[in-house]
Structure 1
Amino acid sequence: MSHIFHPTSLREYDIRGIVGQTLGTADALAIGRGFATLLRRAGGTRVAVGYDGRASSPVLEKALVDGLTQSGVDVVRVGLGPTPMLYYAEAVLEVDGGIMITGSHNPADYNGFKMVFQHRPFFGEDIQILGRMAAEGDWDDAETRGTVGEFAILDQYVERLTAGYAGGAYRIGWDAGNGAAGPALEKLVKLLPGEHHTLYTDVDAAFPNHHPDPTEEKNLADLKKLVADNGLDFGIAFDGDGDRIGAVDGKGRVVWGDQLLAILAEPVLRAEPGATVIGDVKASQALYDRIAELGGTPLMWKTGHSLIKSKMKEENAPIAGEMSGHIFFAQDYYGFDDALYAAVRLIGAVRQSGKSLTELKDAIPPLVNTPEMRFQVDESRKFAVVDEVLDRLEADGVAVNRTDGARVNTPDGWWLLRASNTQDVLVARAEAKDQAGLDRLLAQIDDQLAKSGLKRGEQAGH
């Protein structure tokens, strides 16, 4: 028996697709067979499995569990919850791996699988190996099927979120966006001091109120209104599976992912002076400057939650974050991206600063930047275009940071061009001290694209 995955579903950080078109129960079964086979060959025996609130999740979970047990691995089902709840289960239960069924912040007809293998992220080449094993039918058949048990971990997970709580009593608005973090959030706010107003905590696979992606400002409109109408201190939002955070201050201004990381890093660096703080290549120069100012060691790394997690372990970094709202804590936590935990730590960081989140936002240097600009390009060209740009810039003697694509510093500011690992798009971003400088940076991006026969077209959605 063998299985061929749809070529678009095997991504860099996970396996993801449109249910009924590029992803289905046969894929879930094959993932279970392959993952269990790899785990047993590495000496593992048990896997935790969780799922998000999408309509297709329960049926995919059933097929996944079937595949895992066929190849002799025992399964602990932790049920419906946010992705970090599954990561938590994998970290604290006696298991050797974890699989989360989630479509993250993709549209409602998507779903996918995020995996952890013996406490490390399972991504990149690991996912390609699963694909090859499936094509060859290279799966172990167990003499006796694995067992299936259930463990309701939600309450334990929520209690862990508030362990050692250092925040004060604030008035906070919350928006779960009808995603999988809703039930955990309802329990969390009961454990926190202060006054809490929640939106859309009921899990609804159709996302009837707005798309659950807090990095797009239009999706924060209801949260801004909630904060304004009730005169709240600030607001916090989550994506569809609870591993990415968004925030607005008391004036309704968005506090972006890199700005949140700068605020969250301050108490971390107070406890661990000189520690490494990792940001991604999309983050503002202001973040790296601020980390250095706080006595930390700033490190720019590649975009992607699996890549950042691996780098954190290598560098022994206590905290890391991405522009997209993935925030990772290794200090007093497990090193994975957990938006609910980041929210609790944010309340603590605001309190320890002695200022309000609005004042902290006011203190961030005003820079002019573009949103993340995404434009479609043929899959076969996307990496080649970045290489062409790099070669031309270096030939011209321009100083380029090659960490992840091309990031170019100029007297005006910086610009970035990189290929997405998950879609057939190029991603560009620029940041300057003023609009005139930003226009000059955008002209440089356009010039480089034109030399490779492209132009910034209609921005592709997520």
Structure 2
Amino acid sequence: MAHRFDPTILREYDVRGVFGDTLGPDDARALGRSFATRVRRHGGRRIAVGCDGRISSPLLEHALVEGLTASGVDVVRIGLGPTPMLYFAEASMEDVQGGIQVTGSHNPANHNGFKLVHAGHPVFGAELRRLGDMAAAGDWLDGVGRWERREILTGYVERLLSGLDGAARDGLGALRIGWDAGNGAAGPAIEALTARLPGEHHLLFTAVDGTFPHHHPDPTEERNLADLRALVAAKRLDFGVAFDGDGDRIGVVDAMGRIIWGDQLLMIFAEDVLRDRPGATVLADVKASGALFRRIAELGGRPEMAPTGHSVIKSRMKPIGAPLAGEMTGHLFFADRWYGFDDALYAALRLMAASVRLGRSVTALRSAMPELASTPELRIPTTDQRKFAVVAEVRERLARQGAQVTTVDGVRVDRPDGWWLLRASNTQPMLSARAESADPAGLGRLLAEMDAHLAESGVVRPG
């Protein structure tokens, strides 16, 4: 029987909706049938499935497996864990040709969804929409697949540890680190990992709880880092790391309590990676600081600006051989000693290792960065139907003005005193904005220009 997905849930990078409203077991079952059919038509026969700790995840995982097996693929169920553990399973199990993680990522507790990978490549954009078309047409193969359970956590932790070189690992013993799992799916892996690491480790909220009782697991929101900041200050730690609900995004607080944002982390990682890979390309998303692109070039690398989106960046890294990439949102990608997918646990290890190899504390590395006047990511509520139209209207007005604009993702406007960005979120009914200047006065001018354009399109940025 054919199935139509709610039009709002097939997002650019993944499938995501409100459980019991726009997303339910029938959607999971239909997605399983479409994905299994795709994998079989490409010669595959076995898929790994994992899930996060949300209350709705077991029910959706069960329905997903029903759909996959009904279209004739076998399923390896790896159980509860972070999304990177599912990516690792798909990359390391020789008899597996694809994977699906049931996860709502950093969204509210009543949301859920799916992230898909096939033959080492993320499934997103037009490929996701094709799965929806297959479901609407009932274009599914039939079959009788089987499922089995495999324990992967131990192997995943072992592989994380092996991703450190010996010299860096030897130097970790002097470090004192705080870890905030936010009651997300990475908690058990963090416990297992830190038990094996040298140094001193203080853990917060590693018990998986889909209601997220302590704080929401989104490390890009400053208020969600309050507990980690307090831990770092109380214990006088070197730095602290926080994770989103499915463990593919990282947040960092240094010894002074300063947040080190995704593009600033990428400056640290670029310095470390480019020592061994001179001339390599380093990708960063369109929301990243201009200081990052300048720093990559200073270090002898080739900076490249990419559209925002973990799936987009992963797909771009492979054909150009980039060893490193990152986003403002804390998705960080290492193809250097790792697989090229976003893994916040591995990023935490690499941050420790970079501090050791570069011979400077994370706090010192942060202090050496230029102090610019900038905004965090600004989120401006609108509707899914209106957000892309607003960006198009702003782009047209800027073109008429002859402004210097980069259109790799939305509009990034360069002015003598800095830049501002406006783009449509691909995951939420919002516009995303950011601005940066050398000083507060310049920042104010840039924001005023952006606000004027928004106002012409009938949108007001929240104060």
Count of equivalent residues? 456
- Give % identity: 64
**Separation of aligned partners in 2, 1:308 and 1:81:** 23
Report the counterpart of residue 25 of structure 2 in structure 1: 25
Residue 164 of structure 1 and its aligned partner are, at CA, apart by: 4.5
Residue 424 of structure 1 and its aligned partner are, at CA, apart by: 2.0
Matches within 5 A, 1:177-192: 177-192=182-197
Report the counterpart of residue 345 of structure 2 in structure 1: 340
2:236 maps to 1:243 = no
**Separation of aligned partners in 2, 1:455 and 1:231:** 42
Secondary structure (helix, strand or coil) at the match of 1:184 reads helix
Residue 137 of structure 1 and its aligned partner are, at CA, apart by: 1.0
**1:42-100 CA-partner distances (Å, limit 9, x unpaired):** 11111000001111111111111111011000101111100000000000002110000
Residue 388 of structure 1 and its aligned partner are, at CA, apart by: 2.0
Letter in 1 for 2:82: P
2:164 maps to 1:159 = no
Report the counterpart of residue 406 of structure 1 in structure 2: 411
Report the counterpart of residue 69 of structure 1 in structure 2: 69
**Separation of aligned partners in 1, 2:86 and 2:147:** 16
Secondary structure (helix, strand or coil) at the match of 2:60 reads helix
Residue 377 of structure 1 and its aligned partner are, at CA, apart by: 2.3
Matches within 5 A, 1:163-242: 163-165=162-164, 166-167=168-169, 168-169=172-173, 170-242=175-247
Secondary structure (helix, strand or coil) at the match of 1:414 reads strand
Secondary structure (helix, strand or coil) at the match of 1:162 reads helix
Report the counterpart of residue 266 of structure 1 in structure 2: 271
Matches within 5 A, 1:60-459: 60-93=60-93, 94-142=95-143, 145-165=144-164, 166-167=168-169, 168-169=172-173, 170-457=175-462
Residue 457 of structure 1 and its aligned partner are, at CA, apart by: 3.8
**Separation of aligned partners in 2, 1:206 and 1:279:** 33
**Separation of aligned partners in 2, 1:70 and 1:164:** 38
Unaligned runs of 5+ in 1: none
Secondary structure (helix, strand or coil) at the match of 2:195 reads helix
Letter in 2 for 1:33: R
Contact 2:163 2:338 in 1 (8 A): no
**Separation of aligned partners in 1, 2:449 and 2:335:** 38
2:54 maps to 1:49 = no
**1:380-421 CA-partner distances (Å, limit 9, x unpaired):** 332222122222212222111111011011121110011111
Report the counterpart of residue 36 of structure 2 in structure 1: 36
Residue 352 of structure 1 and its aligned partner are, at CA, apart by: 1.1
Secondary structure (helix, strand or coil) at the match of 2:91 reads helix
**Separation of aligned partners in 2, 1:38 and 1:335:** 23
Contact 2:182 2:244 in 1 (8 A): yes
**Separation of aligned partners in 2, 1:249 and 1:389:** 37
Letter in 1 for 2:88: Y
**Separation of aligned partners in 2, 1:137 and 1:56:** 26
Letter in 1 for 2:159: R
Secondary structure (helix, strand or coil) at the match of 1:207 reads coil
**Separation of aligned partners in 2, 1:372 and 1:352:** 31
**Separation of aligned partners in 1, 2:332 and 2:163:** 19
**Separation of aligned partners in 1, 2:462 and 2:229:** 31
**Separation of aligned partners in 2, 1:57 and 1:223:** 27
Secondary structure (helix, strand or coil) at the match of 1:240 reads coil
**Separation of aligned partners in 1, 2:429 and 2:228:** 32
**Separation of aligned partners in 2, 1:149 and 1:313:** 31
TM-score, normalized by length of structure 2?
Answer: 0.97
**Separation of aligned partners in 1, 2:367 and 2:339:** 31
**Separation of aligned partners in 1, 2:160 and 2:108:** 28
**1:297-334 CA-partner distances (Å, limit 9, x unpaired):** 00010000000001111221001000000000111111
Report the counterpart of residue 8 of structure 1 in structure 2: 8
Residue 423 of structure 1 and its aligned partner are, at CA, apart by: 2.0
Residue 378 of structure 1 and its aligned partner are, at CA, apart by: 3.4
Contact 2:163 2:337 in 1 (8 A): no
Residue 454 of structure 1 and its aligned partner are, at CA, apart by: 2.6
**Separation of aligned partners in 2, 1:317 and 1:450:** 39
Residue 209 of structure 1 and its aligned partner are, at CA, apart by: 0.5
Letter in 1 for 2:39: L
Residue 448 of structure 1 and its aligned partner are, at CA, apart by: 1.4
